[in-house]
């Protein structure tokens, strides 16, 4: 059996230990929180994310330019071969003509891609952001609710409607995008994640889509050839 | 026994927190500088490569065009297709143009240095350029360039920190100059409409962010400086 003085000593020891633990924990907790804030501040100041995004974009752009260079080299060789043989290769020129008509949205096209269904009202800038992301991811043809969208197609909001080149489109919106589904997918998911707080968005990968709508090019009235 | 248990528990907690603390320490300045330097060197190398590749593509485009011109001289069939091809090039922005229009200038405003204002509303964002370009198309723009980069069918503005990317990762810095060809009155009316670019105009008032435009009788826009590859979309029928 312990004497009262021994008991008091044991209690005092426990109190000291508990106090020390509390002090140590408190100190570490404060330092922990402060250092996490410092890490966040230093990262923000350095903006490594922006540099990393830039490196990613440059890599992607350079790969595309390498592919463009290879295609042009082939095209040039084809033209030269025909010229050397004393003729002219109409097919090489025809091929480029068809490609540019696709780029300009003047021919119906088909291919793999995404079907994005949006239920709810979205604003013009939200659609623009989505189109921007999809173009960055290599979208080759885009249509929304029966209207083809090319680079010069204006997207505007009017009351609860979206206007595509002046034509009103209403929910549900069906955005068809032709391109590499592997590249387009993350871009669509990024747009969907910001839209999904307000509207329902479904992104479906498709092996075959058809965009039958076309645009009529505007005639140039003010702009003239040359620098 | 109770004291021993308390000490063991304390040692466990302190060790655990110390370990977490160690992991969350910022990199030493020397490591951080080395990492920043490495990242920036990568950007410089990739941008050098990007410029060289663009120059190569432009050189090849000129060679292809020369081959096409020569072919057109030899064959009337080629001549006919070549004329149509030139029209498509014009629409795709592959041809330099000139004419009347507007020059729009956008620049960052004053940083309020207000900890409560984390909006970065005083800076020009890629969405601002996107909004301006979209409005200009709606106002009948015939050709647009931003800081000398032609806006083409696939052009998309992109975030890159203090810069804005467009057209195969061309890095743009403020102040931003948008050159647009078209009817100057119609284009200026669109920009002046208080219902248009409302958010940008509001930031212009709050942060003194720059948004102004000037009419010109003769402006020029360069050709889009790359080619177009279509790999997935095929013509129907």
Distance of residue B208 Cα from the nearest chain A Cα, in angstroms? 23
Domain match, B170 and B153 both = yes
Tally of domains within chain B: 2
Q: Do B60 and A83 lie within an 8 Å CB cutoff?
A: no
Q: Which pLDDT belongs to residue A31?
A: 40
Distance of residue A43 Cα from the nearest chain B Cα, in angstroms? 9
Q: Do A151 and B153 lie within an 8 Å CB cutoff?
A: yes
Domain match, B105 and B214 both = yes
Q: Which pLDDT belongs to residue B216?
A: 97
* Angle, CA of B217, B220 and B225, to the nearest 5°: 165
Domain match, B9 and B83 both = yes
Q: Do A64 and B88 lie within an 8 Å CB cutoff?
A: no
Q: Which pLDDT belongs to residue B197?
A: 93
Q: Provide the residue range defining the domain that includes B84.
A: 1-92
Q: Which pLDDT belongs to residue B34?
A: 79
Q: How far is CA B95 from the centre of its chain?
A: 20
Residues 109-138 of B with CB under 8 A from A: 126-127, 130-131, 134-135, 137-138
Domain match, B81 and B122 both = no
Please spell the DSSP secondary structure of B114-151, one letter per residue. -TT--S-TTS--HHHHHHHHHHHHHTT-SEEEETTEE-
Q: Which pLDDT belongs to residue A52?
A: 82
Tell me if B235 is assigned to some domain: no
Domain match, B86 and B102 both = no
Distance of residue A10 Cα from the nearest chain B Cα, in angstroms? 8
Q: Which pLDDT belongs to residue A34?
A: 43
Per residue in B142-195, pLDDT (tens digit) is 999 999 999 999 999 988 777 888 888 888 888 999 999 999 999 999 999 999
Domain match, B107 and B210 both = yes
At residue B121 the predicted structure's pLDDT band, cuts being 50, 70 and 90, is: confident
Nearest CB to A128: which of B50, B91, B130?
Answer: B130
Residues 198-217 of B with CB under 8 A from A: none
Entry pTM: 0.80
Give every CB contact of residue B162 below 8 A, 6+ residues apart in sequence. A47, A50, B123, B173
Tell me if B70 is assigned to some domain: yes
Phi, psi of A217 (to 5 degrees): -65, 145
Lowest mean pLDDT among A37-41, B14-18, B122-126: A37-41
Domain match, B116 and B189 both = yes
Domain match, B195 and B109 both = yes
Q: Which pLDDT belongs to residue A33?
A: 41
Bond into A204 cis (ω within 30): no
Could you tell me which residue, B22 or B130, shows the higher pLDDT?
Answer: B130
Tell me if B68 is assigned to some domain: yes
Tell me if B23 is assigned to some domain: yes
At residue B55 the predicted structure's pLDDT band, cuts being 50, 70 and 90, is: very high
Tell me if B165 is assigned to some domain: yes
ipTM of the complex: 0.81
Tell me if B32 is assigned to some domain: yes
Tell me if B228 is assigned to some domain: no
Q: Is the pLDDT of residue B14 over 70?
A: no
- Closest residue in A to B231 (Cα–Cα): A179
Tell me if B230 is assigned to some domain: no
Per residue in A128-138, pLDDT (tens digit) is 999 999 998 99
Domain match, B104 and B190 both = yes
Cα–Cα distance for residue pair B16/B79, rounded to 1 Å: 78
Q: Which pLDDT belongs to residue A17?
A: 62
Mark out the alpha helices in B24-125 (DSSP H runs): 29-74, 76-92
Average pLDDT for B123-131: 92
Q: Which pLDDT belongs to residue A158?
A: 84
Q: Is the pLDDT of residue B130 over 90?
A: yes
CATH of domain A102-211: 3.30.70.1880
Q: Which pLDDT belongs to residue B170?
A: 86
**Which of B50, B76, B92 is the last residue before a domain boundary?**
B92
At residue B6 the predicted structure's pLDDT band, cuts being 50, 70 and 90, is: low
Distance of residue A61 Cα from the nearest chain B Cα, in angstroms? 5
Q: Spell out, as residue ranges, where chain A has pLDDT lower than 50.
A: 1, 27-46
Average pLDDT, chain B: 87
| Structure tokens, A145 | 């609710």
Whichever domain contains B149, its CATH number is 3.30.70.1880
End-to-end alpha carbon distance in chain B? 87
Total beta-carbon pairs less than 8 A apart between chain A and chain B: 305
Nearest CB to A103: which of B21, B168, B230?
Answer: B230
Angle between helices A124-136 and A181-195 (to 10 degrees): 160
Domain match, B23 and B99 both = no
Average pLDDT for B192-209: 92
Q: Is the pLDDT of residue B12 over 50?
A: yes
B158 contacts in chain A (CB < 8 Å): 57, 132, 136
State how far the alpha carbon of B46 is from the alpha carbons of A97, A112, B37, B50, in Å. Answer: 32, 31, 14, 6
């Amino acid at each position: 059996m312990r004497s009262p003085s021994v008991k008091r000593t044991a209690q005092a020891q426990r109190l000291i230990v508990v106090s020390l633990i509390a002090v140590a924990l408190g100190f570490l907790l404060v330092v922990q929180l402060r250092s996490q804030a410092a890490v966040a501040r230093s990262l923000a100041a350095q903006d490594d994310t922006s540099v990393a995004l830039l490196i990613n974009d440059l890599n992607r752009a350079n790969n595309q330019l390498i592919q463009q260079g290879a295609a042009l080299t082939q095209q040039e060789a084809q033209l030269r071969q025909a010229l050397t043989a004393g003729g002219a290769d109409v097919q090489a020129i025809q091929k480029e003509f068809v490609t540019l008509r696709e780029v300009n949205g003047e021919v119906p096209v088909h291919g793999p891609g995404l079907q994005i269904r949006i239920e709810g009202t979205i604003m013009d800038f939200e659609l623009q952001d989505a189109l921007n992301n999809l173009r960055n991811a290599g979208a080759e043809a885009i249509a929304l609710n029966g209207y083809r969208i090319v680079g010069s197609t204006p997207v505007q909001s009017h009351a609860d409607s979206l206007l595509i080149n002046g034509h009103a489109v209403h929910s549900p919106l069906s955005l068809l995008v032709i391109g590499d589904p592997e590249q387009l997918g993350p871009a669509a998911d990024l747009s969907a994640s910001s839209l999904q707080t307000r509207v329902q968005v479904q992104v479906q990968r498709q092996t075959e889509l058809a965009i039958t709508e076309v645009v009529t090019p505007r005639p140039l009235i003010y702009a003239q050839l040359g620098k | 026994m109770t004291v021993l248990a308390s000490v063991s528990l304390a040692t466990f907690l302190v060790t655990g927190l110390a370990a977490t603390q160690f992991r969350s320490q910022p990199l030493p300045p020397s490591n951080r500088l080395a990492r920043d330097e490495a990242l920036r060197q990568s950007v410089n190398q990739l941008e050098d490569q990007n410029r060289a590749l663009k120059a190569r593509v432009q050189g090849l485009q000129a060679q292809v065009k020369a081959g096409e011109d020569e072919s057109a001289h030899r064959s009337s069939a080629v001549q006919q297709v070549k004329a149509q091809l030139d029209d498509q090039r014009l629409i795709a922005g592959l041809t330099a143009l000139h004419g009347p229009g507007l020059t729009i200038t956008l620049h960052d405003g004053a940083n309020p240095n207000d900890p409560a204002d984390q909006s970065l509303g005083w800076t020009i964002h890629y969405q601002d350029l996107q909004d301006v370009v979209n409005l200009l198309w709606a106002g009948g723009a015939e050709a647009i360039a931003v800081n000398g980069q032609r806006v083409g069918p696939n052009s998309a503005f992109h975030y890159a920190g203090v810069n804005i990317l467009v057209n195969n990762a061309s890095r743009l810095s403020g102040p931003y100059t948008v050159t647009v060809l078209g009817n100057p009155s119609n284009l200026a009316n669109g920009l002046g409409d208080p219902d248009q670019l409302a958010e940008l105009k509001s930031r212009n008032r709050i942060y003194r962010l720059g948004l102004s435009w000037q009419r010109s009788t003769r402006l020029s826009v360069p050709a889009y400086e790359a080619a177009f590859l279509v790999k997935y979309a095929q013509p129907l029928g």
